[in-house]
Amino acid sequence: GQAYQSNVNDSTNTKTKSDDNNKPLRIAVAANFTPVLKVLLKDFTRQTGIKTQVISGASGAMFLQIKYGAPFDMFLSADSRRPKELEQAGYALKGSRKTYAIGQLALYSSSNNSNANSLGQLSLEEELAVDQLRKPPARFAIANPDTAPYGKAAKEALTHLGLWQLYESRLIKGINIGQTFAQLRSKAVTRGIVANSQLVLNNLSGVIIPSNYHQAIEQQLIIIRSSKQQTAAEKLSHFLLSAQSQNRIVSYGYAQTQLVNNANKKLSELTAK
């Protein structure tokens, strides 16, 4: 991803001027969501006139950076754990934490005729996934289960199928889901579990792994408490959670979020009590 600004000159202004209104809304976003966000932001800027700047990166690094004073206004993480931690540590605007997307795993194979396996009925999908997974290749790529949410979910799915033992020694672990995808694209490893959105964005096809095999990959956002543009950030938060945006997000290979956000709300209400 790169900076999205309606006016490039603004970027130079950010260095010198401290006029908040002139500063674009700075959004730190997990790399896997960057392309989708960029598409959505075009509409957002058109509708609200709010200029934005996208900073794409690894959630882990951004998490640390926010803790040490990074000048971000908003953080779209690839997981829910880091936003939660930031919220608890007081770096997030109270109540700003929202699930903006739910990741979907897909089994990708760069070598075989995976084109035939177009997305179809759930049952068929399930069958295909299990079918393919039962024949483990020599090397299999997933994101690091210890640090990356998509990796953790992949591990859960494999465990769910009782295949974890079989796979554990064959794993190529990417630092995040982006690197896993790059490793697969290089064809050095031919099969692995990636984010479905990555496949959609690149016009590739794979087999979706049923979401009930693993805990939901909630991708949450927060608004940074020290931000001077909290209103604009809140507007964007609303925009992203709007039904229209959510539909577009889902069309990029993410799962439906409605349910989860409600559940989430309940959960936070409960914990608040």
Partner 1 sequence: MINSDLQALVTTLEMAALTTLILLIVGTPLAWYLAKMTSRFKVIIEAVVALPLVLPPTVLGFYLLIAFSPEHLPGQLWQQATGQQLAFSFSAIVIGSVLYSLPFVVQPLQKAFEQLGDSLLEAGALLGAGPIDRFFSIVLPLTKASFITAASLGFAHTVGEFGVILMIGGNIPGETRVLSIALFDHVEAFDYARAHLLAISLLIGSMVLLAAIYWLNLPKRSNSKNLSQVRSVK
Give the three-state DSSP class for 177. helix
Pick the closer one to partner 1 by CB: 27 or 240. 27
Residue 136 makes contact with partner 1 by CB under 8 A: no
Q: From 108, 73, 101, 94, select the one nearest 204 (Cα to Cα).
A: 108
Pick from 26, 98, 191, 214 the residue near partner 1 by CB under 8 A.
Answer: 26
Residue 166 makes contact with partner 1 by CB under 8 A: no
Residue 188 makes contact with partner 1 by CB under 8 A: yes
* The residue to which tokens 């805990």 are assigned: 215
Residue 52 makes contact with partner 1 by CB under 8 A: no
Residues 206-265 that bind partner 1 (CB under 8 A): none
**Least distance CB 172 / partner 1 (angstroms):** 3
Residues 6+ apart with CB under 8 A from 186: none
Pick from 91, 100, 167, 181 the residue near partner 1 by CB under 8 A.
Answer: 181
- Output the CA–CA distances (angstroms, integers) from residue 9 to 5, 15, 18, 22, in the order listed: 9, 11, 14, 11
Pick the closer one to partner 1 by CB: 199 or 260. 199
Residue 83 makes contact with partner 1 by CB under 8 A: no
Beta partners for 52? 25
Q: Which stretch binds partner 1 (CB under 8 A): 91-99, 121-129, 173-181, 209-217?
A: 173-181
**Quick one: which H or E segment has residue 249?**
helix 243-251
Number of residues counted as binding partner 1 (CB under 8 A)? 52
Residue 164 makes contact with partner 1 by CB under 8 A: no
Pick from 115, 162, 165, 187 the residue near partner 1 by CB under 8 A.
Answer: 187
- Output the CA–CA distances (angstroms, integers) from residue 58 to 7, 118, 134, 225, in the order listed: 26, 30, 32, 21
- The distance of Cα 31 from the centroid of its chain, to the nearest Å, equals 7
Residue 39 makes contact with partner 1 by CB under 8 A: no
Cα separation, 207 vs 196, in Å, equals 8
Cα separation, 96 vs 107, in Å, equals 33
Cα separation, 177 vs 132, in Å, equals 20
Interface map 5-24 toward partner 1 (x if CB under 8 A): x--x--xx-xx---------
Backbone φ, ψ for residue 237 (5° rounding): -60, -50
Binding residues for partner 1 (CB under 8 A): 1-3, 5, 8, 11-12, 14-15, 26, 31, 34-35, 53, 55-57, 60-61, 64-65, 68-72, 85, 138-139, 141, 144, 146-148, 171-175, 178-179, 181-183, 185-189, 198, 201-202
